[in-house]
């Protein structure tokens, strides 16, 4: 799902707000921290049993993700450290919201609450694994921008399901659990195809070194056997007892 056009439209709509934040002296890191704090509050509200209100608060906090990047570009403070912190804080907020939903289902009960909690755990695993595969790919020098269900899509699907009520949220959790794991597998296959496998030349070199080592060991054993053969054989004649008088 490609939402790049929607993202660009959203950035244009919030540009006046970004300019206002810049005039008030806000830094991108401050905006990122404020966003994750708001999402944590939304997760707590959901855990308290107010699914609709908590989801609205969560969406407000998630919207800050469009503000901190635009503010960094406006102020000329774009950095890898800022991108790193922004990404980590976003994952904190997403995980906290999922935990809030899990608590909501456990407190609310119902016939499917245990299945919903399992689906939330699978979704959380898939979300973290999807991000980890991309980070690991970049760590070995490859890019990984593919993905059927990335963070923006996950947040939208989760939020829409929560706003429509616990029953439709249950359906959304099924979709999220399957799609996040599928996206992880998709990324693993994508990166694995791009990475080089074992070099046959290196394998031949290792085999040649092993053969040389085995030949050297065999030659050493032959030399040892030859040295033993050169030793004088020991006599089989019994040792004559010493005369006691000879000891005096």
**Catalytic center residues:** 90
Q: What's the CA gap between 86 and 158, in Å, rounded?
A: 20
Q: What's the CA gap between 188 and 146, in Å, rounded?
A: 10
- Among the listed residues 6, 115, 107, 89, the one whose alpha carbon sits nearest the alpha carbon of residue 47: 107
Token pair listed for 8: 């660009």
Q: What's the CA gap between 182 and 98, in Å, rounded?
A: 19
Token pair listed for 198: 């074992």
Q: What's the CA gap between 243 and 230, in Å, rounded?
A: 35
Residue in this structure with the two tokens 């509200």, named with its chain if needed? 45
Structure letter (DSSP) for residue 64: T
């Amino acid at each position: 799902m490609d939402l790049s056009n929607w993202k660009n439209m959203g950035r244009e709509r919030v540009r006046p707000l970004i300019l206002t934040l810049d005039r008030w002296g806000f830094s991108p890191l401050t905006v990122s921290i404020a966003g994750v704090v708001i999402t944590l509050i939304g997760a707590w509200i959901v855990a308290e049993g107010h699914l609709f209100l908590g989801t609205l608060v969560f969406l407000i906090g998630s919207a800050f993700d469009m503000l901190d990047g635009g503010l960094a570009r406006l102020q000329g403070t774009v950095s890898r450290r800022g991108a790193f912190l922004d990404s980590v804080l976003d994952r904190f907020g997403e995980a906290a919201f999922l935990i809030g939903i899990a608590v909501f289902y456990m407190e609310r009960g119902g016939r499917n609450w245990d299945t919903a909690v399992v689906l939330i755990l699978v979704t959380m695993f898939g979300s973290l694994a999807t991000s980890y595969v991309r980070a690991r790919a970049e760590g070995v020098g490859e890019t990984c921008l593919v993905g059927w269900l990335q963070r923006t899509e996950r947040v939208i699907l989760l939020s829409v399901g929560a706003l429509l009520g616990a029953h439709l949220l249950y359906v959304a959790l099924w979709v999220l659990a399957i799609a996040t794991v599928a996206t992880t597998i998709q990324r693993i296959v994508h990166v694995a195809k791009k990475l080089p496998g074992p070099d046959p030349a290196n394998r031949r070199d290792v085999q040649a070194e092993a053969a040389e080592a085995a030949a050297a060991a065999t030659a050493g054993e032959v030399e040892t056997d030859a040295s033993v053969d050169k030793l004088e054989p020991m006599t089989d004649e019994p040792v004559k007892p010493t005369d006691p008088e000879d000891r005096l």
